[in-house]
């Protein structure tokens, strides 16, 4: 996350991936539209830590997260910068949801519909298999790359271009960018959604819990479970399911 404090002052917040306060690390930034999928070759080292010359304040790290105030002339406006954090060996992790939108939009993303007992074999791939539909009710587009879905048994699914589908005009494409008031489908590469009920949690890249859902069993194959209206707290079963479409319970 990036929070703008005032003109040139920002507060970076990122998961503590082993970057302890006394370790060396860098935060790199690039001015780039966030709909660019490729990290640009031109990047600016925003902060090096430790480096007293930059008058950095010490990052404040807890078990899970670090907060790091920075002063920069680089434009860290939402939707127009990308950030990554790198250790001394230049192993880098993107802080992509940092810059893609403010907390408010990120936290509104919901798991909107769940297909946990698809018709036929649950090991089927793509739309024939298990999936979870996300819905973005906010006014901002968001990138959910490297967000994480976790079930009760701690199976983890990392959201990536390979397992995420969105609608682009009339076609369906692989992407982790979920438009305003739009949908994204996360495909399970193997069956992890228990047909007898499960607990699902969605975490942002920064490790924030964004949404959680508990569902109970459905004996009917092909029946999905979802919110109606979209993003509301009321859940219904759907037949047929409505992947990447408005949830509409059967009459």
Does 247 bind Ca ion (CB under 5 A)? Our answer is yes
CB 112 within 8 A of CB 136: no
Output the CA torsion 46→52→53→55 (10° steps). 70
Stretch that binds Ca ion, among 38-46, 90-98, 190-198, 204-212 (CB under 5 A): 190-198
The verdict on 182 binding Ca ion (CB under 5 A) reads no
Among 186, 193, 202, 213, contact with Ca ion (rule: CB under 5 A): 193
Task: Dig out the tokens for 127 from the structure.
Answer: 């739309």
Q: Is 155 in the site for Ca ion (CB under 5 A)?
A: no
- Contact with Ca ion (CB under 5 A): which of 43, 113, 143, 198? 113
Classify residue 41 by its DSSP letter: S
The answer to whether 135 contacts Ca ion (rule: CB under 5 A) is no
Distance CA 96, CA 99 (A): 6
- Integer CA distances (angstroms), 163 to 103, 147, 215, 227, 250, in order: 24, 12, 22, 22, 28
Binding range to Ca ion, per CB under 5 A, among 22-30, 85-93, 125-133, 153-161: 125-133
Q: Which stretch binds Ca ion (CB under 5 A): 6-14, 32-40, 91-99, 188-196?
A: 188-196
DSSP assignments along 144-207, one per residue: -TT-EEEETT--EEE--GGGEEEEETTEEEE-SEE-TTEEEEEEPSS--S-TTEEEEEEE-TT-
Site membership for Ca ion, residue 96 (CB under 5 A):
no
181, HSE (Cβ side, Cα atoms, 13 Å) = 3
- Least distance in angstroms from the C-beta of 227 to Ca ion: 9
Instruction: Give the per-residue SS3 of 45-65.
Output: EEEEECCHHHCCCCCEECCCE
Using CB under 5 A, count the residues that bind Ca ion.
9
Shortest distance (Å) from residue 183 CB to Ca ion: 6
The one segment of 5-13, 19-27, 42-50, 118-126 that binds Ca ion by CB under 5 A = 118-126
Site for Ca ion contains 218 (CB under 5 A): no
Give Dmax over CA atoms of the chain in angstroms.
67
Residue in 19, 49, 116, 147 binding Ca ion, rule: CB under 5 A? 116
Contact between 242 and Ca ion by CB under 5 A: the answer reads: yes
Cβ-closest position to Ca ion: 242
195 binds Ca ion (CB under 5 A): yes
Q: How far separated are the first and last CA of the chain, in Å rounded?
A: 42
Report the residue number, 37 or 221, with the smaller CB distance to Ca ion. 221
- Does 122 interact with Ca ion (rule: CB under 5 A)? yes
Interface residues with Ca ion (CB under 5 A)?
113, 116, 122, 133, 191, 193, 195, 242, 247
């Amino acid at each position: 996350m990036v929070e703008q404090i005032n003109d040139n002052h920002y507060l970076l917040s990122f998961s503590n991936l082993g970057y302890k306060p006394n370790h060396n690390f860098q935060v790199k930034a690039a001015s780039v539209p966030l709909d660019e999928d490729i990290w640009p070759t031109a990047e600016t080292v925003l902060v090096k830590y430790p480096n007293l010359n930059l008058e950095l304040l010490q990052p404040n790290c807890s078990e899970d997260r670090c907060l790091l105030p920075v002063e920069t002339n680089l434009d860290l406006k939402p939707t127009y910068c990308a950030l990554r954090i790198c250790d001394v060996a230049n192993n880098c992790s993107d802080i992509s949801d940092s810059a893609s939108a403010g907390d408010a939009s990120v936290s509104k993303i919901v798991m909107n519909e769940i297909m946990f007992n698809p018709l036929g074999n649950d090991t089927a791939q793509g739309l024939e298999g298990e999936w979870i539909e996300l819905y973005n009710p906010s006014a901002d587009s968001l990138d959910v790359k490297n967000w994480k879905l976790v079930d009760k048994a701690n199976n983890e699914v990392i959201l990536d271009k390979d397992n995420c589908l969105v609608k682009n005009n009339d076609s369906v494409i692989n992407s982790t960018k979920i438009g305003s008031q739009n949908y994204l489908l996360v495909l399970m590469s193997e069956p992890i959604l228990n047909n007898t009920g499960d607990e699902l949690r969605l975490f942002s890249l920064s490790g924030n819990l964004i949404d959680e859902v508990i569902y109970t069993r459905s004996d009917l194959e092909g029946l999905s479970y979802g919110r109606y209206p979209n993003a509301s707290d009321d859940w219904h079963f759907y037949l047929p399911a409505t992947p990447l479409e408005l949830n509409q319970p059967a009459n």
